Chain A
């Protein structure tokens, strides 16, 4: 071994505790950053890869005239990559006894040779026999359905028993667990038999040479003209976001969170490591003087210390990289499970490993370089007279910090905390940032929960029944006349647009809700303008999501509302906030006058006499029982509690991740504090010896350091909580927009629970961060402490 390496190793060996601390700090920093890099790489590739591999449709057209379409001729048209009928009908399926949810039933043209929107067989049959169906795998998590079950499907007035013969994986669909749908796949004939609807009315298209939604739009427009010339009237033309999974927004939010918090953890880790390296090198200044005195050039000295740093980096890398890969994969599998996609990345790209290795080597070099250079540039004389911490370090501060009420121990703790002001500032700032982010995580969570609460409060009905068809009010209501626990039933006409129904929606898929303007069942939070009034002129209120689709018009402006090809000019009078799909609200009287002369309705809003979850769920059961013998064609029956739960489920993974990653930041910052305390103890080892020599017991020394830690921790908590306030306000707005769309900023909410958890967690972390190194301090013998240099 050459002398450079030998010196590096012997320096590291002579203070094994400190060396281990640096390696541990480096390893934890690298692990955090590396784990995030790994999961970021996997998730960025895999959700999209899962989706793209299904060969998703670029456009979805519906028409009752497709019987006249020559599909083979269409497939030969320039610009068409593939075309296939994939019918879709909304039915209902019983997931548990007497618990019915929406079923998306797909009629698949050819299970053996699908050209797009591919399915993957997971269990049982891959091609359903006539009269049977496959269900999407995620549906099993919200039902008791599986291969071998006989699912009860309600189609119109009929309840059919359909055997489930296979489980498919359809990565292109939103997870059933979040949207509370069951996706099922049947052959064409079975589709027609179950739904009673003719097949081949929904056409999927994939186009050649398109890269954007706009290019798809141009191609579809040209195709629509072609269809029109052939007498095929297109009812709807839906162009999904180009090559983007329906829940890509969730992943984007997660990736953003990962990226930003990962970067923060990295910076905190960097601060931590740089403190440790600076401390090690400060101890080596005298040795640098000696090396120079015996003839070492600056280059030689640099080489010796960089070798030492590289040895530390390699050691940390050996620990951290396997952990980073393992935890990165674990997090990716967790997200994949939540979003129902497969992890396809079996081997991480070589460049990622190279980046991790480079980080483990370069990070400590970069961080220690300033301290190394400072040490190298010091003159031989100054280096030889360096005895570490300057006795003048306190300056005049000590005399200023004095209060008669302070015990001498507390005074000593306060002054010692102030001894290394730069380090104290970095430690407090890092810890405060950790506290602020941790607290912000809870506040953002509270903001979301408040929005959900707003939603809950805005909808005063208890159970909603939505019909697939618009029918006369009396016919709809009469089916439920025998139910006891009903105070009243208000009837609306409306839908949730693209999500559930096209019955009442604009041509662009914005849901229209026609309701009595003076209803007391809907009291949303109005963010601009006012709610509907019984005015003569057509007026509407929009939610923020609809505002976005309409290009954020100003309140008071006139808009064309395209309802089934007929244009109604309406005045926008207000904007409301709700966690929903895009919706436009209009007075029922005005809507009926324009588009609903028979005053048909499709929504029944039930208000129960007796409230409470059990009573409402019992009412829902009674409603289901009343529906069973009726001729009502039901789209869904949903209690308000379930509705809130569905939205919460969509956001829960993000809420969980926010808190988890915030905790990670707090842990890293606590580690920073622990390392700062450790450095402080190392530097003051000799002082510890002196204190013991003049009569301080180990318990007193221990208490001294714990007090110091508590002071730093308390200062950090205070600063962090103050910082959390503006940070939470910004974050609520930011995450609201990120998760729910441009118009959906969340209101700031203060989480009392989060405050308490932050306070307790941080103080515990701070206490531990000082307690562990303090315990080490008292284990050093008085003789060794006094002999410490």
Chain B
């Protein structure tokens, strides 16, 4: 269960500063396939940063599976993130000096939840699962954009986190590859993962079970919410 309680994020600047998120309340259940949509500057990426602990809210709390994320110290937060949230970036952000396989192994090394003797086999399995099993020995630069994004998804799944967060994961990909990635996400949801995708592509939102639209830092609409959430107090 992911719960955002009255989250406000204000960036310092001229005057009162810029409010990227304004008193946002959200609840996401395990296994949901959620799209966060909105125009540029609506607060999508800031919301994602709140969910992943990458950024701290000015006020409010983020509780994920019972953990108040922003009470954790930097090191605890990094470990927590590694175990609980897999992140997929728009520009893949693979480490260019490591091979694709090593990129996946690195995430396991950092978090140390997968036993050492199982890591390689798991990394190969994940690459196989995302459809690039033969590319593991290559450097990221040798892969196409779609393959790099699949490698990034494999890395995000390295420690078997319950939540996968993706920031514009198909923003740089062609329509065919976009579909492949979306299918991959669907499979992960089917396997029980919570997948949250930030996208500005409203047309793609039909693929998601739930679409949260942000506008000026506030939730404008929340379509497809589960009955459980609808019954929850505002």
Complex interface residues of chain B between 101 and 119 (CB less than 8 A to chain A): 102, 105-107, 109-111
Q: Most B CB atoms within 10 A — which of A411, A686, A694?
A: A694
Name the contact of B82 in the complex, choosing from A394, A687, A695, A781 (C-beta under 8 A).
A695
Chain B residues with CB below 8 A from A786, complex form: 54, 89
If A394-B139, A411-B102, A783-B55 touch, whether A695 touches B159 (CB-CB below 8 Å) is: yes
Chain A residues with CB below 8 A from B141, complex form: 391-392, 394
The reply to whether B52 and A693 contact each other, CB–CB distance below 8 Å, is yes
The reply to whether A783 and B97 contact each other, CB–CB distance below 8 Å, is no
0/1 string, A405-433, CB within 8 A of B gives 1? 00111011001100100000000000000
The reply to whether B98 and A699 contact each other, CB–CB distance below 8 Å, is no
Chain B residues with CB below 8 A from A260, complex form: none
Question: Min CB distance, B123 to chain A, in Å?
Answer: 11
Q: DSSP class of A's interface residues: helix, strand, loop or mixed?
A: helix
0/1 string, B71-94, CB within 8 A of A gives 1? 000110011011100010100010
Q: Does A690 belong to the interface (CB within 8 Å)?
A: yes
Q: Does B207 belong to the interface (CB within 8 Å)?
A: no
**Interface size in chain B (residues, C-beta < 8 A):** 34
Q: Does B49 belong to the interface (CB within 8 Å)?
A: yes
Q: Does A137 belong to the interface (CB within 8 Å)?
A: no
Name the contact of B106 in the complex, choosing from A408, A698, A782 (C-beta under 8 A).
A408
If A697-B75, A698-B74, A781-B55 touch, whether A399 touches B137 (CB-CB below 8 Å) is: yes
Q: Most B CB atoms within 10 A — which of A392, A399, A692, A698?
A: A692
The reply to whether A783 and B49 contact each other, CB–CB distance below 8 Å, is yes
The reply to whether B110 and A411 contact each other, CB–CB distance below 8 Å, is no
If A398-B97, A687-B95 touch, whether A692 touches B55 (CB-CB below 8 Å) is: no
Name the contact of A419 in the complex, choosing from B82, B93, B97 (C-beta under 8 A).
B97
The reply to whether A695 and B79 contact each other, CB–CB distance below 8 Å, is yes
Question: Min CB distance, B166 to chain A, in Å?
Answer: 12
Q: DSSP class of B's interface residues: helix, strand, loop or mixed?
A: helix
The reply to whether A398 and B78 contact each other, CB–CB distance below 8 Å, is no
Q: Does A700 belong to the interface (CB within 8 Å)?
A: yes
Q: Does A696 belong to the interface (CB within 8 Å)?
A: yes
Q: Does A393 belong to the interface (CB within 8 Å)?
A: yes
The reply to whether B97 and A693 contact each other, CB–CB distance below 8 Å, is no
Complex interface residues of chain B between 133 and 183 (CB less than 8 A to chain A): 137, 139-141, 155-156, 158-159
The reply to whether B110 and A696 contact each other, CB–CB distance below 8 Å, is yes
A699 to B76, CA, bound (A): 11
The reply to whether B99 and A398 contact each other, CB–CB distance below 8 Å, is yes
The reply to whether B74 and A393 contact each other, CB–CB distance below 8 Å, is no
If A398-B99, A690-B89, A781-B55 touch, whether A697 touches B74 (CB-CB below 8 Å) is: yes
The reply to whether B95 and A690 contact each other, CB–CB distance below 8 Å, is yes
The reply to whether A408 and B105 contact each other, CB–CB distance below 8 Å, is yes
The reply to whether B110 and A697 contact each other, CB–CB distance below 8 Å, is yes
The reply to whether B99 and A412 contact each other, CB–CB distance below 8 Å, is no
Question: Min CB distance, A761 to chain B, in Å?
Answer: 30
A53 to B97, CA, bound (A): 67
Name the contact of B102 in the complex, choosing from A408, A693, A699, A782 (C-beta under 8 A).
A408
Q: Hey, which bits of chain A sit against chain B, CB under 8 A? A: 391-394, 398-399, 407-409, 411-412, 415-416, 419, 686-687, 690-700, 781-783, 786
- List 12 additional contacts besides A399-B99, A412-B102; criterion CB under 8 Å: A391-B96, A399-B137, A408-B98, A411-B102, A412-B95, A415-B98, A690-B95, A693-B93, A694-B158, A695-B82, A696-B82, A697-B110
Q: Hey, which bits of chain B sit against chain A, CB under 8 A? A: 49, 52, 54-55, 74-75, 78-79, 81-83, 87, 89, 93, 95-99, 102, 105-107, 109-111, 137, 139-141, 155-156, 158-159
Q: Can you list 24 A-B contacts (CB < 8 A)? A: A398-B97, A398-B99, A399-B137, A408-B102, A412-B95, A412-B98, A419-B96, A419-B97, A686-B93, A687-B93, A691-B110, A692-B78, A693-B52, A693-B81, A693-B93, A694-B87, A694-B107, A694-B110, A694-B158, A695-B82, A695-B107, A695-B111, A697-B75, A782-B54
9 closest A-B pairs by CB:
A695-B82, A415-B97, A695-B110, A697-B75, A783-B55, A690-B93, A697-B78, A695-B111, A391-B141
